[in-house]
Structure 1
Amino acid sequence: MRVVLFCHSLLSDWNHGNAHFLRGVCAELRERGHAVQVYEPHDAWSLANLVQEHGRAPLEGFARAYPGLASTRYAMPGLTTAASLGDPQPPTPLDLHQALDGADLVLVHEWNEHELVRRIGEHRRRNPHYKLLFHDTHHRSVTEPQAMAAYDLRHYDGVLAFGRVIQALYEEKGWARQAWTWHEAADTRVFHPLPGEPREGDLVWIGNWGDDERSAELDEFLLQPVHALGLRARVHGVRYPAHAKRALAEAGIDYAGWLPNYEAPRVFARHAVTVHVPRRPYVRALPGIPTIRMFEALACGIPLVSAPWNDAEGLFTPGEDFLVATDGTRMREHLRAVLNDPALAASLAEHGRRTILARHSCAHRVDELLAIHASLRTTATKTSLETQASP
């Protein structure tokens, strides 16, 4: 099968967590023998910021971590020139007829321009040989409904939503003809335990500041507990304003900047515990949707303590896969317990990893994707036969 993906970026995960899951899905599809072609805009802001801050070395690291994965960086009117990112070659002009020729399944991620989404839909209307799905992995359907309603999905076969509440929104508002829940997951080829790594600290948290969507939560569930317990702690992430960096320093936390996602397993292995601090929109309006870093941390076998969130879809077993802290006081108590009780830490690590391996790997999600594709093909075949049989 030939699969084509349009996304913001596969090459860069700088402030772009969607790249984590998409990389895992593409790698899994390739491993199963499917042909995968990825397209991303040449001036993707994630890649531009990554190259500006760290040069092109991270792209070489990506190639080593994900052998065989690549993307075609295309140009459309209004995009920057190749020289802006130090590219030796100019970007490829996007020709949808060429890109989609022979495709069986096309996925269009929601961090694409509205015009591109519309143009792909129009191409699908004229060329019905492939199935076309829109992939929504953000809270904008709740926080920016006008922006999401503006996507023209009339000619899409449906939407892959990373939580039931988002699936329901598409169905209730009539934004798409149908929708399925398709949670993110961990790429267990990359995210797994690394025994034998030297211990560098007690706690690590990997996450971006998040435009003040969780600043109060980070203070209550990360900064204050670390300071109160005197832990050796490290934070990785981007877009931390000056006041956030000062707050980390005052709490005794080492701010270590951006971390390539494929290096997270080694960092987890060198610390004793991590935390999950979801953004406010997910807690308040989108129950049942954890961040992908929760899947990845559990896959790496590190004990995890989470700030409150409602596991409305029963993805995990709270209390066994991870501990839940209802407030800052409980976070301190849980962290102290995990750090001082090796049996508890081992139990959480083992149970959490077993859950990922049983239900939440990218292999599971590809199984789901292929089943959806098969159902669409079956429905199309049945409709065609019924049409032919009608008088």
Structure 2
Amino acid sequence: MNITLFYHSILSDWNHGNAHFLRGVVRELQERGHQVQVYEPKNGWSLQNLIKGYGEEKLEELQSYYPGISTNFYTLETLDLDEVLADTDLVLVHEWSEHELVKRVGEHRKQNDYKLIFHDTHHRAVTERESMAKYDLSNYDGVLAFGEVIRDLYLQEGWTTKAWTWHEAADTSVFYPHENEGEYDGDLVWIGNWGDEERTAELHEFLINPVKELGLKAKIYGVRYPKHARKSLANAGIEYGGWLPNYKAAEEFAKYKVTVHVPRRPYVQALPGIPTIRPFEAMACGIPLISSPWNDSENLFTPGEDFLVARTGEEMKQHLQTILTNKEKAKELAAHGLETIRSRHTCAHRVDELEKVCEELGIETAKIYLTQNEQSPA
């Protein structure tokens, strides 16, 4: 297939978690012989923050992890959809896109025979419903939603007539266990952004306070940490590492004995079944994971076997002590989580699902399922 993707960025993951999944999906599609073009807005905020804070050399570093990764920059004023979408079979437009782009691509679809899908990977359908309702999806063939609750909402609100659940997953070409000879830099590592005050209390209860009270050696990576947050880390003896390129996370996980997952409040309260991408990636790296509560209503994992669940800060302390003192338990937990990812939750699994959607929409099966001999150059 010829596939065109409109996303915020594939180059930058600065406060932009969708780049994690997008990179893995694009690579998997290309390896199967599909032709993929990514378009992102010129001067997008994530890429601009990355370059401003860390320089363009980070884009060169990205190439060593994703050889040949590329994008096309556009502005709404100069975007020629006739040119961009000539001979395309499938178009995905991400929900971070401007309303005008979503509408224009939909209007273009009316005059052409490619398939057009909207891809939603955020909680705004619940927390910013008025803005999401303004997206004109009338000419779209359907919606890919990263959880059943989001998929159902699109159907209930009448925003679309077709929708599929398409969870994020781990890009196992980058996220896999790295060798460790038993020499660790510390006990606990956490990789995540502060979260616009969406999980401040939770971060204190399930991460900062347990580390402080247990006297653990810990390091935290992420961006948009306000002064009061950095002060809390310092008071707990936690080292703050700033932004970490996502493709380096696997190397960091290998340097520590345990990590935790602290989901943002909207996902816990209103969006059960959506873990976001961080736990997928952690388990793919073979590090023991402990999570604060979230409802795995779609049975993606087996809580207690793939990861431990701490319902309170006190329980988090108990679980951390268990993992840090019981090597066999830690090894067993990590192995179970890793096997679950490899068997069900990789980008290859998600591309399998996407290809099934394409088949349902009527794209020629010869284009969807390329044989080894028929593959065009990636």
Q: TM-score range by the shorter chain?
A: over 0.9
Once residues 228 and 322 of structure 2 are traced to their aligned partners in structure 1, the CA distance between those partners, rounded to angstroms, is 31
What is residue 68 of structure 1 aligned with on the other side?
A: 68
**Conservation of the 8 A alpha-carbon contact between 1:75 and 1:94:** yes
SS at match of 1:187: coil
Once residues 151 and 246 of structure 1 are traced to their aligned partners in structure 2, the CA distance between those partners, rounded to angstroms, is 40
- 1:194 aligned partner, one-letter code: H
Aligned-pair distance for 1:98?
A: 1.0
Whether 2:314 is the aligned partner of 1:329: answer yes
SS at match of 2:5: strand
- 2:255 aligned partner, one-letter code: R
Residue from 267, 289, 311 that aligns with 1:282: 267
Once residues 248 and 98 of structure 1 are traced to their aligned partners in structure 2, the CA distance between those partners, rounded to angstroms, is 51
Residue from 153, 166, 172 that aligns with 1:182: 166
Whether 2:189 is the aligned partner of 1:195: answer no
SS at match of 2:362: helix
What is residue 83 of structure 1 aligned with on the other side?
A: none
SS at match of 1:343: helix
- 1:231 aligned partner, one-letter code: L
Once residues 124 and 69 of structure 1 are traced to their aligned partners in structure 2, the CA distance between those partners, rounded to angstroms, is 27
**Conservation of the 8 A alpha-carbon contact between 2:148 and 2:165:** yes
CA RMSD of aligned residues (A): 1.2
Residue from 285, 290, 293 that aligns with 2:278: 293
**Conservation of the 8 A alpha-carbon contact between 1:154 and 1:177:** no
SS at match of 2:118: strand
Once residues 86 and 65 of structure 2 are traced to their aligned partners in structure 1, the CA distance between those partners, rounded to angstroms, is 29
SS at match of 1:70: coil
Aligned-pair distance for 1:263?
A: 0.2
Give % identity.
63
SS at match of 1:275: strand
What is residue 33 of structure 1 aligned with on the other side?
A: 33
Once residues 5 and 291 of structure 1 are traced to their aligned partners in structure 2, the CA distance between those partners, rounded to angstroms, is 21
Once residues 76 and 173 of structure 1 are traced to their aligned partners in structure 2, the CA distance between those partners, rounded to angstroms, is 28
Whether 2:137 is the aligned partner of 1:153: answer yes
**Number of paired residues?**
364
Aligned-pair distance for 1:68?
A: 2.1
Aligned-pair distance for 1:35?
A: 0.5
- 1:142 aligned partner, one-letter code: V
Once residues 107 and 315 of structure 2 are traced to their aligned partners in structure 1, the CA distance between those partners, rounded to angstroms, is 53
CA deviations over 1:348-377 (Å, ceiling 9, x no partner)? 110000000010000000000000001101
**Conservation of the 8 A alpha-carbon contact between 1:28 and 1:362:** yes
TM-score, scaled relative to structure 1: 0.92
Whether 2:7 is the aligned partner of 1:15: answer no
Once residues 97 and 67 of structure 1 are traced to their aligned partners in structure 2, the CA distance between those partners, rounded to angstroms, is 29
Once residues 208 and 38 of structure 2 are traced to their aligned partners in structure 1, the CA distance between those partners, rounded to angstroms, is 39
Once residues 249 and 330 of structure 1 are traced to their aligned partners in structure 2, the CA distance between those partners, rounded to angstroms, is 23
Q: How does 1:262-277 map to 2 (within 5 A)?
A: 262-277=247-262
Structure 1: gaps spanning 5 or more residues: 78-92, 380-391
Once residues 218 and 311 of structure 2 are traced to their aligned partners in structure 1, the CA distance between those partners, rounded to angstroms, is 21
Aligned-pair distance for 1:324?
A: 0.2
Structure 2: gaps spanning 5 or more residues: 365-378
**Conservation of the 8 A alpha-carbon contact between 2:89 and 2:363:** no
What is residue 370 of structure 2 aligned with on the other side?
A: none
CA deviations over 1:12-71 (Å, ceiling 9, x no partner)? 000000000011100000011110000000111000111111011111111111112210
Once residues 222 and 302 of structure 1 are traced to their aligned partners in structure 2, the CA distance between those partners, rounded to angstroms, is 16
Once residues 232 and 97 of structure 2 are traced to their aligned partners in structure 1, the CA distance between those partners, rounded to angstroms, is 35
Aligned-pair distance for 1:174?
A: 0.3
Aligned-pair distance for 1:94?
A: 2.1
RCO higher in 1 or 2 (8 Å CA, sep ≥ 6)?
2
Once residues 57 and 342 of structure 1 are traced to their aligned partners in structure 2, the CA distance between those partners, rounded to angstroms, is 39
